[in-house]
Amino acid sequence: MGKKKDDDSRNKVVASNRKARHDYALLDEYEAGMVLTGTEVKSLREGKASLIDGFCTFYRDELYVEGVYIPEYLNGSWTNHAARRRRKLLLHRDELNKIQRKSEESGLTIVPLSLYFKDGRAKLQIAVARGKREYDKRQTLREKQDNREAQRAMRARNRGSDAE
């Protein structure tokens, strides 16, 4: 049949940080490549990773992600990696400068949102975000719940008119 790969291996989400979307108001999102070792890639292909404690920092004008947990590869030997090491992110220089300017503003931080494979390469979606206050979180939850209830009511109304 040729060289066709199955679609789920091309764009496979390994880990997502749902808590970040709850705790932060996301301003700008970026897709970054990652500098990884071979055992890290093999461990990610097994679908094991966690972004929960992850955060991004600048070090010598380069952006790094820290606190992201990629477990050691079980079949690895002495070449295995540290599970929570600092990993360099690959972005264009103008994007890096823009992110760095924004992250220096008061109250803004850079959070990892999801880790996935795109065309066989590991990518990390990051966002410049502002932390939400407790009442902002409650308001967001209330809006989601109201929208959900409105959708249910519309579906119920549409079903009622279809039965007649």
The verdict on residue 58 lying in a domain is: yes
What percent of the chain is modeled with pLDDT above 90?
6
The verdict on residue 83 lying in a domain is: yes
Query: Given the structure tokens 């503003």, which residue do they identify?
Result: 105
Q: Has residue 6 got a pLDDT over 50? A: no
> What is the tens place of the pLDDT at every residue in 107-125?
888 889 898 988 888 899 9
Exposure string of 62-91, with b = 16+ CB inside 10 Å and e = fewer, is: ebbbebbebbebeeeeeebbeeeeebebeb
The verdict on residue 27 lying in a domain is: yes
The verdict on residue 161 lying in a domain is: no
Domain count, the chain: 1
- Cut 0.75: pTM above it: no
CATH number at residue 53: 2.40.280.10
Domain that holds residue 21: 10-132
> What is the tens place of the pLDDT at every residue in 25-67?
888 899 989 888 888 888 888 887 888 888 888 988 898 988 8
